[in-house]
Amino acid sequence: MSLVRKLKPDRNITGALVPLSMLLIVGIASLIFGLPTGLTTLAVLMWVYSLFFLYGFIRTGNVAQLVLCLEGAFFGIMFLVFEPHYGMNKVGNSEFKVAYIFGVVFFGFVLISLALTRRLKWRGREIFELAGESVEETGNGYTSRPRPVGKVEYSPQQMNAFAHFCARHLIALPYKTSKNFTLVPIKMGDEFGRLLGLSSDYRDATWVNFDVSGEVSVHIAQKDYLDYREPLAFDQLCTSLGQVFIDFFELYNKGEGVRVIDRMDDLGLGIFS
């Protein structure tokens, strides 16, 4: 376990901006059009939120995304059920209360357990910490060029399965072409832009590429490189990042995928960072 963090503390608030902006929109809608409209707005926003996580589930296969999707859909319905009865003292019926309380308890419990077990966590920071762990030398040398870091033997089926594994555990988002499997590690808060395609092209982000001939190459985005406390020797950092994924691939290939998760959990990074 690394005691000295190589990355700067996470001060990214992008992840919190989405729910906060929902509150702001609902507040403004309530102020202008009244609370019933505010509730309808909240319900619509919850469904939009739910659709995002449904897409996240389809794209990654991560079950926790599906739970978030169901949670959004459920509370969206609850707000819509509540809205026509607002101010008429009819919402106090026991069915609504039971459904609402059960929903809150169920989703509360499930979401807290998913968060605590890091199943909702995008593992980008863990990946970068692991990559930086073995690099002691400093000296910058940043370049936007990718670096070939080695070669691994694999079949397309093996790589496909590994890419699915990385996506399912939110280790990296895979992009497949006829000749390449590109894995893009994503930090918490960056998933919205990347999944919705609002961020720049994935080739400009940090990635590890496995091509059909087994060549592994690595590209580190300047934004991610600047996230390290010190200007680590760039060529070593690229090699190390590539090696992290090669190790993960080999562990996964041996049927020890759980060790990959353990290695990342052992870093003890915050569940929202």
Q: Enter the DSSP assignment of 178.
A: S
CB of 12 to another protein, least distance (A): 25
As measured in angstroms, the least distance from the Cβ of 177 to another protein is 6
- The CA distance from 69 to 195, in Å, is 15
| Single-letter amino acid, residue 102 | F
Closer residue to another protein in complex, CB, 143/253: 143
As measured in angstroms, the least distance from the Cβ of 145 to another protein is: 5
Our CB check for another protein shows the closer of 230 and 265 to be 230
Nearer to another protein, 11 or 145 (CB): 145
Q: Which residues bind another protein (CB under 8 A)?
A: 139-148, 177-180, 203, 209, 211, 215, 217, 219, 233-235, 238
Q: Is the C-alpha dihedral spanning 208, 186, 192, 165 positive or negative?
A: positive
Q: Which CB atom, from 103 or from 146, has the smaller least distance to another protein?
A: 146
Query: What DSSP character marks residue 228?
Result: B
What is the total residue count of the chain? 273
Helices marked H in 203-256 — which ranges? 222-225, 234-253
Of 50 and 209, which has the nearer Cβ to another protein?
209
Residue 67 or 216 with smaller CB distance to another protein: 216
The closest of 230, 232, 186 to 208, measured between CA atoms, is 186
**At its nearest, how many Å lie between another protein and the CB of residue 132?**
16
Least Å distance, CB 164 to another protein, is 21
What minimum distance in Å lies between the beta carbon of 184 and another protein? Answer: 14
List Cβ neighbours of 94 (8 Å cut-off, separation of 6 or more): none
Contacts of 241 (CB under 8 A, 6+ apart): 127, 128, 131, 149, 206, 208, 218, 220
For residue 163, give the nearest of 154, 144, 152, 176 by alpha carbon.
Answer: 176
For the bound state, the minimum distance from the C-beta of residue 142 to another protein, rounded and expressed in Å, comes to 7
CA distances from 2 to 103, 131, 232, 264, 269 (A): 39, 12, 16, 11, 10
> Closest CB to another protein among 143 and 158?
143
